[in-house]
């Protein structure tokens, strides 16, 4: 009993000694998928994007097939972000998701203090990287989709570190075409510990999002409008992201500024599988515009591309691909309509004869057959 009390006391002391920071485990904030990136980063409102599973666990409620996705992003000065994810169906409107990612840079010149700068390329190099593993689960309850995810992070910088975060997400379908979503980031708090003994944490944050879909038969497709809010609980650290102004104040402090700190996107999906996208990563900053496109090459293969502009830094290009091994090996069955034959429409038995008032029998008139439908591979 004494041992348990000491452990609890030790944990409490560590929590009190932790440094509150903005963006602990910030690598978890990176938008991996090209689809959501092309839509201004409105990942909470995007459906069926497994590469956005880190910030959108409720979408696993729609898992009907096994899918795997891969994404690659090249950032500035050789920094790269690679992401891989897989979703597995556990039953009707019930799924499990796994993902692994690496964000870092390689071949960084490293010279010890006091040493002379070597000539040419004869110098030591080092790598820095964050490795993230995510486990997520989602399930549908009537019109409500819910999901929970847990993330573990291992960091290799000048010292090693470990991080952890738990998230909750939900979406409710108000009526056909309109849905609202919410995301509680870091309900466990987002905590990190370093080799030096330093502890950091970020408080939980809440977001809301909305999506509206409208079929447009004249253009043979569907238009989707997406919106995602800035954080509701506290001001986010975005003052250096775009033009140096502080954006993203609390909703109750300045509703207009809070709205401008959100994200917006639009997508038109043609019936033949092509999607065109555009958005704003910050509604109040036009230079944060994004664009992208996606193509469903087959029912088991999807390819997406996104372009993200920036007023100061270089533009970012994203490419992602999603495949379904199950649909590739076992394509869905297609219905084939069989035209009725003459023997199907002609009466050929006594049972098809009707008696007359005089007791004689006449043949029933032929009826048009609706044909038949059978399934074939």
- CA torsion angle 23 60 87 35 (round to 10): -60
Residue 301 confidence (pLDDT): 95
Residue 23 confidence (pLDDT): 62
The H or E element containing residue 201 is strand 199-202
Mean per-residue pLDDT, 368-374: 44
Domain identity same for 153 and 69: yes
The CA distance from 101 to 83, in Å, is 4
Residue 210 confidence (pLDDT): 96
- The closest of 350, 26, 346, 52 to 181, measured between CA atoms, is 52
Supply 35's token pair: 């689809």
Q: What are phi and psi of 285, to 5 degrees?
A: -130, 100
* Total domains present in the chain: 2
Which of 12-16, 232-236, 357-361 ranks highest by mean pLDDT?
A: 232-236
Band (pLDDT 50/70/90 cuts) for residue 5 is very low
Residue 236 confidence (pLDDT): 60
Instruction: Decide: 37 and 204 in contact? Cβ < 8 Å.
Output: no
- The closest of 93, 134, 65 to 322, measured between CA atoms, is 65
The CA distance from 29 to 319, in Å, is 18
Mean per-residue pLDDT, 81-90: 94
Domain identity same for 269 and 361: no
Residue 112 confidence (pLDDT): 73
Domain identity same for 134 and 191: yes
- % pLDDT > 90, the chain: 44
DSSP 24-43: TTGGGG----HHHHHTTT-G
pLDDT above 70 for 9: no
Domain identity same for 232 and 275: yes
Q: What is the CATH number of the domain that holds 81?
A: 2.40.160.40
pLDDT above 70 for 61: yes
Domain identity same for 102 and 68: yes
Domain identity same for 243 and 98: yes
Domain identity same for 212 and 340: no
Domain identity same for 246 and 353: no
The answer to pTM > 0.85 is no
pLDDT digit string, tens, across residues 265-293: 999 999 999 999 999 998 988 888 999 99
Maximum CA extent, the chain:
122
The CA distance from 362 to 345, in Å, is 16
Domain identity same for 248 and 104: yes
Band (pLDDT 50/70/90 cuts) for residue 334 is low
Q: Establish how many alpha carbons lie within 13 A of residue 367's alpha carbon, considering only the half-sphere containing its beta carbon.
A: 7
Domain identity same for 315 and 359: no
127-131, 196-200, 218-222, 367-371 — which is least confidently predicted? 367-371
Q: Establish how many alpha carbons lie within 13 A of residue 318's alpha carbon, considering only the half-sphere containing its beta carbon.
A: 30
Q: State which residues form the domain around 114.
A: 2-329
161-165, 199-203, 263-267 — which is least confidently predicted? 199-203
pLDDT digit string, tens, across residues 17-45: 456 666 677 888 888 889 999 999 999 99
Residue 31 confidence (pLDDT): 83
Domain identity same for 24 and 138: yes
If one counts every other C-beta atom within 10 angstroms of the C-beta of residue 374, the result is 9
Domain identity same for 294 and 349: no
Task: Convert 237-266 to b/e letters by CB count within 10 Å (16 or more is b).
Answer: ebeebbeeeebbbbbeeeeebbbbbbbbbb
DSSP 63-101: --S-EEEEEEEE-GGG-EEEEEEEEEEEETTEEEEEEEE
Task: List all residues 6 or more positions away from 140 whose beta carbon is below 8 Å from its beta carbon.
Answer: 61, 62, 93, 94, 146
Q: Which of 312, 329, 346 is the last residue of a domain?
A: 329
pLDDT digit string, tens, across residues 282-322: 898 888 899 999 999 998 999 999 999 877 778 889 999 99
pLDDT above 50 for 11: no
pLDDT digit string, tens, across residues 204-246: 999 999 999 999 999 999 999 999 998 888 766 554 455 555 5
- The closest of 320, 364, 350, 324 to 51, measured between CA atoms, is 320
Mean per-residue pLDDT, 42-51: 91
Residue 221 confidence (pLDDT): 96
Mean per-residue pLDDT, 162-188: 93
């Amino acid at each position: 009993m004494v041992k348990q009390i000491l452990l609890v006391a030790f944990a409490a002391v560590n929590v009190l000694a932790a440094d509150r920071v903005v963006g602990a485990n910030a690598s978890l904030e990176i938008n991996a998928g090209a689809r959501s990136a092309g839509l201004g980063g409105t990942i909470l409102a995007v459906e069926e994007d497994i590469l956005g599973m880190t910030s959108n666990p409720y979408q696993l409620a729609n898992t009907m097939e096994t899918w795997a996705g891969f994404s690659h992003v090249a950032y500035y000065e050789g920094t790269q972000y690679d992401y891989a994810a897989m979703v597995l169906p556990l039953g009707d409107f019930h799924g499990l998701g796994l993902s692994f990612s690496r964000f870092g840079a390689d071949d960084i010149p490293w010279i010890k203090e006091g040493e002379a700068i070597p000539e040419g390329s004869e110098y030591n190099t080092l790598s820095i990287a964050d490795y993230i593993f995510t486990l997520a689960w989602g399930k549908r309850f009537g019109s409500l989709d819910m999901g929970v995810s847990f993330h573990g992070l291992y960091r290799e910088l000048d010292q090693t570190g470990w991080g952890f975060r738990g998230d909750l997400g939900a979406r409710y379908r108000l009526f056909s075409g309109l849905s609202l979503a919410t995301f509680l980031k870091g309900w466990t708090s987002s905590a990190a510990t370093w080799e030096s003994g330093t502890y950091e944490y970020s408080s939980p944050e809440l977001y809301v999002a909305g999506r509206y879909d409208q079929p447009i038969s004249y253009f043979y497709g569907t238009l989707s409008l997406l919106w995602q809010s800035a954080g509701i609980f506290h001001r986010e650290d975005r003052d250096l992201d775009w033009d140096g102004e502080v954006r993203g104040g609390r909703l109750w402090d300045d509703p207009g500024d809070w709205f401008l700190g959100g994200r917006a996107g639009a997508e038109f999906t043609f019936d033949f599988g092509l999607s065109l996208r555009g958005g704003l990563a910050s509604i109040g900053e036009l230079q944060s515009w994004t664009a992208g496109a996606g193509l469903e090459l087959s029912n088991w293969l999807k390819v997406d591309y996104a372009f993200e502009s920036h007023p100061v830094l270089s533009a970012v290009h994203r490419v992602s691909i999603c495949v379904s091994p199950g649909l590739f090996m076992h394509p869905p069955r297609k219905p084939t309509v069989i035209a009725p034959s003459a023997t199907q429409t002609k009466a050929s038995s006594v049972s098809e004869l009707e008696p007359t008032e005089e007791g004689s029998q006449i043949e029933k008139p032929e009826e048009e057959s609706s044909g038949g439908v059978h399934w074939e591979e």
